[in-house]
């Protein structure tokens, strides 16, 4: 069977990225600003425009595509295509699938952006060829997903994979989710920034906020982290080591429960710092693996698809869905 032609879209808080994808290859792509503060209708219209630009580049029209699959940053009902809650977009219960089908006239599949990224890495990236893979994505939050026995695991309610909300410190730091001690409250960029700020307020010095200002950033981005580490900022180093320690505990917990072949780390921080960011995570993880034969063979590796994981993963999800519908 020849690979179907699919539109893959990554809907982020900042950018919309759309691409025409066939068999893991991006044939044409287009990026536009999301403009979330202008409201749901504007964003949906801009998705349509971005997709049409891709179709124009390809010199194709909607009927040549088997499906469109879009990854949204939040809780998605994959059956109905409704985005229940996407805080970065300020969306609640948006029937994204239905709206895009009406606009573009082709079948639309909606899924969570991190699930999609994990599946992209599984089929074409760092998890290629494995049956059991865990993905951990470190960004302003911490997300993840799992492939179990070769199949993406969605869970009973369809909300599996919330690895960022594994409690790694009982009665610990307040997390953005309202609970305490989640790994996201220690190892996300948001958490690292908060921890550095707290230490600074206690009287310790840091260059992180100067670097942030110099780069014109309003929050701790991956490039600010990299520049701060290059400047030898002690607080930044401690925040990274703290994040790595808790990500190591998370990894060990997931390995002891799920016994994967590979754990793939993605997100901006990992893209910038690569295997150097992952190695200390691995050292802590291995200290907490239950001693069983083969533990040393479990691979902890960086994601390889980068920004392409969104559209390529979306095409993987679409193809799966098309096949299961046959």
| Exposure on the CB side of residue 13, measured as CA atoms within 13 A | 11
Task: Find the distance separating the first CA and the last CA of the chain, reported in whole Å.
Answer: 13
Check residue 84 for interaction with a copy of itself (CB under 8 A).
yes
For residues 4 and 172, which CB has a smaller minimum distance to a copy of itself in the complex?
172
Query: Do residues 11 and 73 make contact, with C-beta atoms less than 8 angstroms apart?
Result: yes
Which of residues 45 and 259 has its CB atom nearest to a copy of itself in the complex?
259
323 binds a copy of itself (CB under 8 A): no
> HSE on the CB side for 8, CA within 13 Å?
32
Pairing of strands 299-302, 262-266: parallel
Q: Is 78 in the site for a copy of itself (CB under 8 A)?
A: no
SS3 31: strand
Binding to a copy of itself by CB under 8 A, coded x per residue (else -) over 4-43, reads: ----------------------------------------
Residue 163 vs 281, nearer CB to a copy of itself:
163
Residue whose C-alpha is closest to residue 128's, from 227, 240, 24: 24
147 belongs to the binding site for a copy of itself (CB under 8 A): no
* Using rule CB under 8 A, residue 148 touches a copy of itself: yes
Q: How far apart are CA 76 and CA 206, in angstroms?
A: 39
Do residues 311 and 19 lie in contact, with contact meaning Cβ atoms separated by under 8 Å? yes
Count of residues binding a copy of itself (CB under 8 A)?
51
Q: Give me Rg for the CA atoms of the chain.
A: 20
Q: Does 80 bind a copy of itself (CB under 8 A)?
A: no
The residues in 227-246 that bind a copy of itself, with binding defined as CB under 8 A, are 245-246
Q: Which is nearer to a copy of itself, 209 or 245 (CB)?
A: 245
For residues 270 and 277, the answer to whether their CB atoms sit within 8 Å is yes
163 binds a copy of itself (CB under 8 A): yes
Residue 153 is a binding residue for a copy of itself (CB under 8 A): yes
In the list 78, 166, 200, 322, the residue contacting a copy of itself (rule: CB under 8 A) is 166
Minimum Å distance from CB 249 to a copy of itself? 5
Q: Which residue, 107 or 172, has its beta carbon nearer to a copy of itself? A: 172
Burial track 132-163 (b if 16+ CB lie within 10 A, e otherwise): bbbbbbbbbbbbbbbbeeeebbbeeeeebbbb
d(CA 54, CA 289): 46
Q: Please identify which residue in 261, 272, 304, 320 interacts with a copy of itself, judged by CB under 8 A.
A: 261
* 170 in contact with a copy of itself (CB under 8 A): yes
Residues that bind a copy of itself (CB under 8 A): 75, 84, 130-132, 144, 146, 148-149, 151, 153-163, 165-170, 177-179, 245-246, 249, 252-254, 256-261, 287-288, 290-295, 298
């Amino acid at each position: 069977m020849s690979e179907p032609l699919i539109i893959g879209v990554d809907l982020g808080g900042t950018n919309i990225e759309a691409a025409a994808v066939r068999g893991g290859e991006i044939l044409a792509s287009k990026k536009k600003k999301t403009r979330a503060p202008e409201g749901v209708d504007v964003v949906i219209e801009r998705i349509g425009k971005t997709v049409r630009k891709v179709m124009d580049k390809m010199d194709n029209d909607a009927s040549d595509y088997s499906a469109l699959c879009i990854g949204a940053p939040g809780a998605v009902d994959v059956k109905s295509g409704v985005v229940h809650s996407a805080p970065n977009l300020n969306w609640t219960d948006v029937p994204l699938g239905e709206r895009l089908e009406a606009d573009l006239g082709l079948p639309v599949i909606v899924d969570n952006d991190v699930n999609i990224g994990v599946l992209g890495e599984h089929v074409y990236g760092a998890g290629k060829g494995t049956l059991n893979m865990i993905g951990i994505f470190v960004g302003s939050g911490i997300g993840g997903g799992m492939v179990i026995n070769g199949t993406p695991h969605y869970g009973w309610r369809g909300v599996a994979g919330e690895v960022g909300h594994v409690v790694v410190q009982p009665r610990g730091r307040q997390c953005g989710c309202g609970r305490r001690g989640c790994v996201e409250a220690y190892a996300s960029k948001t958490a690292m920034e908060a921890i550095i700020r707290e230490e600074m307020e206690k009287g310790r010095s840091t260059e992180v906020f100067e670097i942030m200002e110099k780069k014109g950033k309003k929050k701790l981005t991956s490039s600010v982290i990299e520049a701060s580490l290059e400047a030898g900022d002690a607080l930044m180093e401690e925040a990274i080591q703290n994040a790595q320690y808790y990500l190591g505990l998370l990894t060990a917990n997931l390995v002891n429960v799920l016994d994967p072949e590979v754990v793939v780390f993605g997100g901006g921080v990992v893209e910038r710092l690569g295997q150097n960011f992952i190695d200390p995570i691995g050292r802590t993880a291995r200290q907490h693996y239950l001693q069983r034969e083969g533990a040393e063979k479990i691979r902890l590796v960086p994601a390889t698809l980068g920004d392409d994981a969104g559209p390529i993963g979306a095409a993987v999800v679409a193809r799966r869905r098309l096949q299961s519908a046959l």
